[in-house]
């Protein structure tokens, strides 16, 4: 029997093979591999540059989804930010390409995974934690010098390369200095709950650089302790701890580290430690070698140097965006300063964050439910009255307490619900809802069909109202 493998392929088989090969190549340049992860608007794949053999990560964004969501300016801002921050401890953006349906971010592939996975196995030794913290501060200092503020620093957004060096990633919630309002502050309520600074909760406006420093402090604590400094199963209780700065260092922390953390996690932004002060700190400086770097042929080259942290020098080049002949219908070049899209309000930004979605703002358990809101108490009470009217409930009010009573007699009497509003910070309140009487099934149905959607709509309305008066060049 003849060996079929030695037979020449038919013309039809050759055409199929050629078509399959061309389909596996993205714009004729990248061979797409396994899926690394995905989100609401994007998927991330491992890929190989067929010209150089270099492994990269490609973030594929569905253009139709972001256009419908009004997020094209948000994507452009992210591109602009990534082009500003080319540093050895920041994940690089190599190029951006687009077709009629997709936008492609070609990025550095970081093989070591998330720092979070390392911490999840237990606390780190002091020298290892110090090294990661030094690299984090080096990257954050560079970002701030370039007018970029991350605003969502956490171990999940810190990656490790094959050499064990830290790489800051995910600049999706970042802001640039051009977005600062006339009062010199940022006002967007965003971040991940356990790592968010108290002044962000206060909603009075904040210095983004100081917010990043607070997050760095939480990260350092987590690396050294193996758990969060401000932790509670109840998100409202955790917010109170953050707002008051209530945390305790474990006994294995050295006095120098404890003092540094007390400066990093200072609830007052005015007295919180600065980047230059961190770099002069005795605990931080131990074994610190500053990295001088420059850019050559689109690759970051670095030289370890013993110079002082302030002696950093960096070359920056505008990374050109690629397009592939007729397939590309859009250049994704982003200007240095980008306007805030009208549809991207605080509610949208909160929803983008994995750790800060609506499920974390509305907690349910048994006969109780809690809701976090930035709306005034008067508006919350009006919303409760509006919800009650829809289902023909009687409303009784006293100060910050509202009682809702159903007119229908159930098996266990009429459904009666008590709502009480507590002030978490001057600009953030908690609505606590309890079943006082009636059938539990009826109570759960009321919460899911009327109460929860109504209170979430209130948050959306409030966020839209707060953003409607902002000039177009703000955040």
Q: Which CATH architecture has domain 115-312?
A: Orthogonal Bundle (1.10)
Range with lowest mean pLDDT among 1-10, 210-219, 442-451, 458-467: 1-10
- Please, is 102 exposed, middle or buried when counting C-beta atoms within 10 Å of its C-beta (0-12, 13-18, 19+)? middle
Instruction: Kindly tell me if the per-residue pLDDT of 436 is higher than 80.
Output: yes
Q: What is the CATH code for 357-468?
A: 3.30.310.80
Q: Give pLDDT, residue 312.
A: 34
Residue 11: how many other CB atoms lie within 10 Å: 8
Alpha carbons 266 and 166: distance in angstroms, whole number: 25
User: Residue 20 annotated as binding?
Assistant: no
Structural domain boundaries in the chain: 24-108, 115-312, 357-468
Span between the terminal Cα atoms of the chain, in Å: 73
C-alpha closest to that of 147 among 208, 193, 101: 208
Instruction: Kindly tell me if the per-residue pLDDT of 399 is higher than 80.
Output: no
Tens of pLDDT, residue by residue over 354-395, are 333 334 445 555 677 777 777 788 888 888 888 888 888 888
- Please, is 386 exposed, middle or buried when counting C-beta atoms within 10 Å of its C-beta (0-12, 13-18, 19+)? middle
335 or 408: which leads in pLDDT: 408
Q: Give pLDDT, residue 427.
A: 62
Known catalytic residues are: 152
The domain 24-108 is classified under which CATH number: 3.20.20.10, 3.40.50.300, 3.30.200.20, 3.30.465.10?
Answer: 3.30.200.20
Which residue has 């067929």 as its token pair?
50
Average model confidence (pLDDT) for the chain? 75
């Amino acid at each position: 029997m003849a060996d079929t493998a030695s037979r020449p392929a038919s013309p039809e088989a050759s055409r199929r093979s050629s078509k399959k090969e061309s389909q596996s190549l993205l714009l004729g340049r990248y061979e797409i591999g396994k899926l690394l992860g995905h989100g609401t608007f994007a998927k991330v794949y491992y890929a190989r540059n067929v010209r150089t053999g270099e492994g990269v990560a490609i973030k594929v964004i569905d253009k139709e989804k972001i256009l419908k969501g009004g997020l094209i300016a948000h994507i452009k801002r992210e591109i602009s930010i990534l082009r500003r921050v080319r540093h050895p401890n920041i994940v690089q953006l190599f190029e951006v390409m687009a077709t009629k349906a997709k936008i492609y971010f070609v990025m550095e592939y970081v093989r070591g995974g998330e720092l979070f996975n390392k911490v999840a196995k237990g606390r780190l030794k002091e020298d290892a934690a110090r090294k990661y913290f030094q690299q984090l501060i080096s990257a954050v200092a560079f970002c701030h010098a370039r007018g970029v503020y991350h605003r969502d620093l956490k171990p999940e957004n810190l990656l490790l390369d094959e050499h064990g060096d830290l790489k800051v990633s995910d600049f999706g919630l970042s802001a640039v200095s051009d977005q600062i309002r006339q009062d010199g502050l940022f006002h967007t309520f965003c971040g991940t709950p356990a790592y968010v600074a108290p002044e962000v909760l206060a909603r009075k406006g904040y210095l983004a650089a100081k917010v990043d420093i607070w997050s760095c402090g939480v990260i350092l604590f987590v690396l050294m302790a193996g758990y969060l400094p401000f932790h509670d199963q109840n998100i409202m209780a955790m917010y109170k701890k953050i707002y008051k700065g209530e945390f305790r260092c474990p006994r294995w922390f050295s006095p120098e580290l404890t003092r540094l953390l007390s400066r990093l996690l200072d609830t007052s932004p005015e007295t919180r430690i600065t980047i230059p002060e961190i770099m002069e700190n005795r605990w931080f400086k131990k074994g610190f070698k500053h990295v001088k770097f420059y850019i050559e042929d689109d690759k970051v080259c670095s030289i370890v140097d013993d110079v002082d942290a302030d002696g950093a020098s960096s070359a920056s080049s505008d990374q050109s965006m690629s397009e592939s002949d007729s397939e590309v219908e859009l250049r994704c070049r982003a200007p240095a300063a980008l306007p805030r899209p009208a549809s991207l309000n605080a509610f949208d930004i909160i929803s983008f964050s994995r750790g800060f979605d609506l499920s974390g703002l509305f907690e349910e358990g048994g006969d109780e439910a809690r809701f976090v809101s930035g709306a005034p108490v008067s508006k919350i009470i009006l919303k409760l009255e509006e919800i009650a009217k829809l289902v023909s409930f009687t409303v009784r009010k006293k100060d910050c307490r509202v009682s809702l009573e159903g007119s229908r007699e159930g098996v266990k009497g009429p459904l009666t619900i008590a709502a009480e509003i507590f002030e978490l910070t001057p600009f953030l309140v908690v609505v606590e809802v309890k079943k006082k009487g009636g059938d539990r099934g009826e109570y759960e149905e009321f919460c899911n069909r009327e109460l929860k959607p109504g209170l979430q709509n209130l948050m959306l309305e409030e966020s839209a109202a707060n953003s409607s008066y902002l000039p177009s060049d703000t955040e």
